A and B are shown apart, each in its own frame.
Chain A
Amino acid sequence: MAQYAVLIYAGDSAHAPDASAEELETHTDHADDLAERGSMVAAYALTPRDMATSVRGDTITDGPFLDSKEVVAGFYVIEAPDLDAALAIARTNPVVHQGGGVEVRPVHSGGPVERR
């Protein structure tokens, strides 16, 4: 088994601070589904692009790091035996059919940090 990070790209994140449960339903269902199948290792939904702050050199700017149509709306880490299996999981993300997409990257190392 190997770990893959799945970066979710969308026009914006649906997870606004004041988003209702209904608005997030498809995303929550998808996350629950992956968790049930036992392939999910970790998952994070990010707040919308307006909440982002970027730092390059000494400059701090309002907004996402890259000025592009899509932003990283969230990411999760899954476990899969090979790339085909990872892609099969990643492509079930609803964003794939909503004009966005996902990027799948093998994880080199890392994980939750144990805090003392």
Chain B
Amino acid sequence: MTVEAAIVATHRREWARVLAATVRVTRDLDLAEECVQEAYAAALEIWARDGIPGNPAAWLSTAARRRAIDAIRRDRALRSRLPLLVISPEEPSDEDSRPDGRLDLIFMCCHPALGRAAQVALTLRLVCGVPVADIARAFLVSEPTMAARITRAKKKIATARIPYRMPGPAELPERLPGVLAVIYLLFTTGHTAPSGGSLVRADLVDRAMQLARMLRELMPGETEIGGLHALLLVSTARQETRVDEDGRLLRLKDQDRSRWDRAALAEAHDIIVAALPAGPPGRLLLQAAIASLYAEAPSYEETDWPQILTLYDRLLPVWPSPVVRLNRTVPLAMVAGPAAALAEVEELERDDRLAGYQYLPAIKADLLSRLGRAGEAAAAYRQAFTLASNEAERAFLAGQLADLTPVEGPSQRA
């Protein structure tokens, strides 16, 4: 491996560990970032001369910490005017159970006292080491706007004394979902990328996956982390087949299952199977189990519909969302027939929270079409078409509508 490649790999893999170690010394985020960046720059030169060290992260942490100590000694006055971070004292005896500060770092970035947009930006910058310019591009804002967002968040962390510390066992159940939501948001932002800037956005998917994997390693007992990781794995495994060569959206039943990433699906399966017996499953684990079960069937027709319906029935109490109820009508139609599912959809139509939700008329149209009510199906497809937000979805709905037309009588077509 060349030194450049080693640096790039270490940057991606170890940034969080190195920064977390440095923050402990500086108690100042900007100074820590600066020292870590300098350490990476120095590595480029020194590794080329002396060879790549056996433990690059430890080398970088030592180099960055040394720079930090020097900087603090040299000129305290030059340090930022912000108050120092609140850091719990290191527990030397506890070295093994707290291997590094990465959890302190991520829980600080995702603290509920920060807005979601700030949490996401900070996590990318501080935990993943993504340059501000790239974060700005991924979220379609200008670089100064993103820089200001990050600066403001750092200022609040220091001034309001948001602690650099992972929450204790009592607060953890309340705090973990926020961290998982940030990772999920990163993923969906990358996953549902419009064509423009897709490279940067594909990187978001990788980052989200990496964060989920990291959290799972650091907190192996938390089954919802496993659920999130598995959910991301299943979605990514099917990513390639979501659209055809012309960029048209493909339904699950029309996707080429032979092109799915079997290794990712197998990893997701193992995570879910290991986590399910651990206790009452949370929302993410159940979502992952549903997605995984859909993906495991050899064909759409052979999907285990009753099992999927059972999982939805367990998901609804932990996540009583009208969208979940709507999605449940898909397996319901397969188990109890389209008429039963349609009755449920029509009931959901009265829920204001789903007004303007494009998938409701789309699902309704499909059910109506299966019941042979082509005229009503066409009207529902048209409604979905008006609500659809992106080109790929609109093209798909137009195709569905066109497929319906031959069923209708000539008088209706005129």
Contacts and interface: CB of A to CB of B under 8 A. Distances in A.
Nearest to A80: B161
A84 B167 contact: yes
Nearest to B157: A83
B172 interface: no
Interface in A62-116: 81-84, 86-87, 104, 106
Interface residues of B, number: 11
Which secondary structure characterizes the binding site on chain A? Answer: mixed
A16 B165 CA distance: 42
B86 A82 contact: yes
Contacts, number: 24
Interface string B136-168: 000000000000000000000001111101010
Which secondary structure characterizes the binding site on chain B? Answer: loop
A106 B160 contact: yes
Contacts of A83: 111, 113, 160-163
A35 interface: no
B171 interface: yes
Contacts of A2: 161
Contacts of B162: 82-84
Interface residues of A, number: 9
Contacts of A106: 159-161
A82 B159 contact: no
A106 B113 CA distance: 12
A57 to B, nearest CB: 30
A42 to B, nearest CB: 19
Q: Which of B111, B113, B161 has the most CB of A within 10 A?
A: B161
Interface in B79-125: 86, 111, 113
Given A83-B162, A83-B163, 14 more contacts: A81-B86, A81-B161, A82-B86, A82-B161, A82-B162, A83-B113, A83-B161, A84-B162, A84-B165, A84-B167, A84-B171, A87-B113, A106-B159, A106-B160
Interface of A: 2, 81-84, 86-87, 104, 106
What 10 A-B pairs come out closest when comparing CB atoms?
A: A82-B163, A82-B86, A82-B161, A83-B160, A83-B162, A106-B160, A83-B161, A2-B161, A106-B159, A84-B163
5 contacts: A83-B113, A84-B163, A86-B161, A106-B160, A106-B161
